[in-house]
Amino acid sequence: MTDPIHTRLLDNGIPLITEPIPQLRSASLGIWVDTGTRDEYPHEHGISHFLEHTFFKGTDTRTARDIAEQIDALGGDLNAFTGREQTAFYVRFLSDGMHAAADLLFDVFTRSTFPEEELARERQVVIEEIRMVEDDPEEWVHDLHAGNMWNPTSPLGRTILGTEASVNAMDGAAIQAYLARRYTSANIVVSAAGNLDPEALYRLANTTIGQISRPEVPVPETPLPVRGPAGSHVHHRALEQVHLCVGGQGLAAGHEDRFAMYILNDLLGGGSSSRLFQEIREQRGLAYSVYSGHTSYRDCGEVTVYAGCSPESAPQVLGLIDTELDRVCTEPVPEPELERTRGHLKGSLMLGMESTFNRMSRLAQDQFLWGAPQPIEILLNGINQVDSAQVLRMARLAFDPSGRCVTALGALDALPESSPAPG
């Protein structure tokens, strides 16, 4: 059976990776730029996200309203998002609208004009977004936690959205300087998955995004991240709940131990049978939301446990988290639990492959990390081969007590001593 994934280089060297799935009625197309918050200079804080917004504010041939009306008429979804290391622009569309949807996305990406009057309006939109995040404590605590896990002057410790002051300072000149430095052909991948015609998409891509100029100088190196001090950090705010994050060291993307870290994260807080979900929510009823997550960057990573609870329950919840982290650092995971966790991870992975957006995203990530698509069997086999000794080693790396970072947001002036509830 031939490989359904096609990889071709556009005239300027940008890879176009396509995965045709003819039995579907839709497809997803994305333009991925290997740049984000950690690639910004201090005076550019938030420019990756601001720039992502402004691409949609008009091109040489379309107004912002034209763009919105045309994607709605196609029954599709045109959007973008910014992370700490990547920015993505994508369109999801019905298969018979591929040419029109791709033409719209490529036009937005290659011919945006960034008119000053639109920039002025969008500054206010982004400022309202910053305020909205600060009104969502579960989201805001993760931003605060990043500033504690990583030194706030380090790029990974800064918020993605920027500040009101930094956003107000952004103008057309700043945008053009950032585009010239980071939006180069060496930093871009185009990927697509679903019911699509790879050859037709290649022709359209090559006449648009394939004409972006190559950089004349190498892409600047990203500074190494700086870890913040371990310990507890309290951010007082009059809220009904206290929002807690407990973090530790993770792994860089592509690390050889990544599969064991996936298992550790999942058994702690990745599903309804995970240890923290069962102990804190199901057995004790102390929180509605409790979970964990592992984030990998180019050269480092972080693991974070989150729980939201009443101020009165905060000592118990923090104590239960600490107790479970201590346990996973000292006791091997029983084989039945390990097997259950393997099954949950593999199931989540395979169910995610039902989405053309997830498939398209995975193609781009594989290209950035490995330079080629990776068979799904590599992930499945890697998960299957994890044993309890590897999980124990990852737990000790991630959650050594001396390196844990705790962030609390809520009606507390200080973080009380943790004390687990009676068994």
Helix, strand or coil, per DSSP, at residue 81: strand
**Residues composing the chain:** 423
Beta-bridge partner residues of 17: 7, 191
Helix-, strand-, coil-residue percentages of the chain, each rounded to 5:
50, 20, 35
Measured between alpha carbons, how far is 312 from 301 in angstroms, rounded to an integer? 32
Other beta carbons within 10 angstroms of residue 137's beta carbon come to: 20
Task: Supply 313's token pair.
Answer: 């329950």
**Angle between helices 98-111 and 64-73 in degrees, nearest 10:** 160
Fill in the amino acid letter for 13.
G
Closest C-alpha among 77, 167, 89 to residue 127: 167
- The Cα diameter of the chain in Å comes to 67
Measured between alpha carbons, how far is 185 from 15 in angstroms, rounded to an integer? 9
Strands across the sheet containing 87-94: 6-9, 15-20, 188-194, 26-33, 87-94, 77-82
> Over the Cα atoms of the chain, what is R_g?
23
Measured between alpha carbons, how far is 322 from 314 in angstroms, rounded to an integer? 12
Measured between alpha carbons, how far is 362 from 344 in angstroms, rounded to an integer? 19
Closest C-alpha among 270, 300, 305, 316 to residue 145: 305
Q: Is 44 a catalytic residue?
A: no
Task: Supply 390's token pair.
Answer: 């590897």
CA distance between the termini of the chain? 56
Closest C-alpha among 259, 273, 310 to residue 416: 310
Residue of 40, 44, 52, 85 with catalytic role: 52
Contacts of residue 283, defined as CB under 8 A and 6 or more positions apart, other chains included, come to: none
Other beta carbons within 10 angstroms of residue 135's beta carbon come to: 9
Q: Provide the annotated active-site residues.
A: 52
